[in-house]
Amino acid sequence: METKAYDYTYYELLEQLQVFDFALVELNLYLDTHPNDLQSIQQYNTLTQERTKLAYQFQQLYGPLQNFGHAYSKFPWEWSKSPWPWQV
Amino acid sequence: MWIYEKKLQYPVRVNKCDITMAKYLIEQYGGADGELAAALRYLNQRYSIPDKVIGLLTDIGTEEFAHLEMIATMVYKLTKDASAQQMEEAGLGAHYANHDNALFYNNAAGVPWTAAYIQAKGDPLADLYEDIAAEEKARATYQWLIDMTDDVDLQDSLKFLRQREIVHSLRFREAVEIIKEDRETKKIF
Amino acid sequence: MKELQSSQERSYTPFIGPFDPCVPVTHKTYVIPPNQYIVFQPLNLPQFPLQEALKLGTLWPALYSPYESRRGRREQTKDGNESL
Q: Report pLDDT digits (tens) over A11-68.
A: 999 999 999 999 999 999 999 999 999 999 999 999 999 999 999 999 999 999 999 9
Per CB-CB distance under 8 Å, the chain C contacts of B150 are 69, 71-72
* Model pLDDT for residues C12-69, shown as the tens digit of each residue: 999 999 999 999 999 999 999 999 999 999 999 999 999 999 999 999 999 999 999 9
Non-local CB neighbours of B50 within 8 Å, separated by 6+ positions: B124, B178, B179
First to last CA, chain B: 33
* Model confidence, pTM: 0.94
Q: Choose the mutation target among C50, C56, C58, C60 for the interface with A, i.e. most A CBs under 10 Å.
A: C50
Name beta bridge partners: B112: B106
Share of chain A above pLDDT 70, in %: 95
Q: Is the pLDDT of residue B160 over 90?
A: yes
Q: What is the 3-state secondary structure (H, E, C) of A57-82?
A: HHHHHHCCCECCCCCCCCCCCCCCCC
The mean of the pLDDT values for chain B is 96
Mean of per-residue pLDDT scores for chain A: 94
Residue B182 has pLDDT above 80, yes or no: no
Query: What mean pLDDT value characterizes chain C?
Result: 89
Give the gap in angstroms from C-alpha A47 to the nearest C-alpha of chain B.
16
Distance CA B15, CA B77 (A): 10
pLDDT (tens digit, 9 = 90+) per residue, B128-148? Answer: 999 999 999 999 999 999 999
Nearest to B149 among C39, C42, C69 (CB): C69
> So what's the pLDDT on residue A12?
96
Compare CB distances from C54 to A19, A27, A39 and report the shortest one's residue: A19
Query: Is pLDDT of B28 > 70?
Result: yes
Q: What is the pLDDT of residue A6?
A: 81
Compute the nearest-CA separation of A16 from chain C (Å): 8
Helix H or strand E segment including B54: helix B54-79
Q: Do C57 and B167 touch (CB under 8 A)?
A: yes
DSSP B23: H
Residue ranges of alpha helices (H) inside chain A are: 8-33, 38-62
Name the residue ranges covered by the structural domains of chain C: 1-13+24-37+45-67
Domain boundaries, chain A: 7-88
Q: Which tops the pLDDT comparison, C81 or B142?
A: B142
Give me the residue from B159, B164, B170 closest to C38, CB to CB: B170
How far is it, in rounded angstroms, from Cα B169 to Cα B161? 13
User: Above 80 in pLDDT, residue B184?
Assistant: no
| Structural domains present in chain B | 19-180 (1.20.1260.10)
